[in-house]
Amino acid sequence: MRRVQGRLTTPWIETTAEVLTARLKNGQALLEFDQIVFEWNDVRLLIRQITDVLRRHEAVDGDAALALHAVGRSPELPDVMRTWFTGGAGLPVIDMLDEVLAWAARPYLQRVAEVLQQRVALDAWGRNTCPICAAEPDFSLITMAGDRLLVCGRCHVRWPFHPIKCPYCGNDDRSTIKSLATPDGVYRLMSCRACHRYIKALDGRKASRPLLPYFDQIATLPLDAAMAKNS
């Protein structure tokens, strides 16, 4: 992944800041698939390497690994990636395909997201999907001021969101929202009884470092286990 990141080119976004701002005001995410500058040979390499790691840790079986490798080798990979990104129908039914494509695409999504964030402010977005790529959040950050930022599960962009409202169903009834925290208070979890989903957070008021999305997802696995036990 780091080797690929070191070779990424910076995409050229011709859209003006005024148009980008207008899109946000209209509730439209900013990133379009054709703006992502994929290096397909590197994407294929990432798919192969990610699949091999999953197989080594028995997260996928042999048949699924073969199918994932076949997707990576296929000349139709760009079309498969477009279908995955846009949420269209017709994606092959293969265990972990969504996750593998997400990991393989993330360096490219992050690079174009960096460019877009320099062009327009995201503070007024306030929606429960990413203002850049329209994906759901999969983590969050509580700032020193007590505000909450959602973290995109696809491109890792952060944006402000209501501190209590469920980011998945919009429920803001405090009586149906539960909170759980690690003993040191560094990590928190907010669960919603209305949709039975939850989101984890790094509490910046307690932590001695910034959010590290890859690390913090793993470090908070005990919270996931606690939720599974109590469900």
DSSP class per residue in 161-214: E-SSS-TTT----GGGEEEEE-TTSSEEEEEETTTTEEEEEEETTT-SS---HH
Residue 203 maps to a domain: yes
pLDDT at 10: 66
Both 149 and 109 in a single domain?
Answer: no
pLDDT at 47: 97
Residue 18 maps to a domain: yes
Residue 204 maps to a domain: yes
Which tokens is 183 given?
């003993």
CB 31 within 8 A of CB 113: yes
Give CB contacts under 8 A, 24+ apart, made by 150-155. Answer: 150/199, 151/211, 151/213, 153/102, 154/102, 154/105, 154/106, 154/109, 154/130, 155/31, 155/106, 155/109, 155/110, 155/113, 155/130
Whether 1 shows a pLDDT value over 60: the answer reads: no
Both 109 and 187 in a single domain?
Answer: no
Both 112 and 146 in a single domain?
Answer: no
What tens digit of pLDDT does each residue of 89-112 get?
Answer: 889 999 999 999 999 999 999 999
Q: What is the pLDDT confidence band of residue 19, given thresholds at 50, 70 and 90?
A: very high
Q: What is the pLDDT confidence band of residue 42, given thresholds at 50, 70 and 90?
A: very high
Both 110 and 7 in a single domain?
Answer: yes
Q: What is the pLDDT confidence band of residue 8, given thresholds at 50, 70 and 90?
A: low
Closest of 148, 146, 145, 147 to residue 137, by C-alpha? 148
Both 113 and 141 in a single domain?
Answer: no
Average pLDDT over residues 147-164: 96
Both 79 and 152 in a single domain?
Answer: no
CB 24 within 8 A of CB 124: yes
In the β-sheet with 197-203, what is the strand arrangement from edge to edge? 158-161, 148-152, 137-142, 197-203, 187-192, 177-181
Both 208 and 108 in a single domain?
Answer: no
pLDDT at 6: 56
Both 91 and 171 in a single domain?
Answer: no
What tens digit of pLDDT does each residue of 108-124 get?
Answer: 999 999 999 999 999 98
Residue 123 maps to a domain: no
Both 91 and 13 in a single domain?
Answer: yes
pLDDT at 15: 85
User: Could you give the number of structural domains in the chain?
Assistant: 2
Residue 125 maps to a domain: no
pTM for the full model? Answer: 0.89
Both 54 and 160 in a single domain?
Answer: no
Both 22 and 52 in a single domain?
Answer: yes
pLDDT at 185: 95
Residue 9 maps to a domain: yes
Distance separating alpha carbons of residues 102 and 109, to the nearest angstrom: 9
Residue 122 maps to a domain: no
Whether 203 shows a pLDDT value over 90: the answer reads: yes
Whether 2 shows a pLDDT value over 60: the answer reads: no
Residue 167 maps to a domain: yes
Both 110 and 159 in a single domain?
Answer: no
Domain region containing 154: 137-230
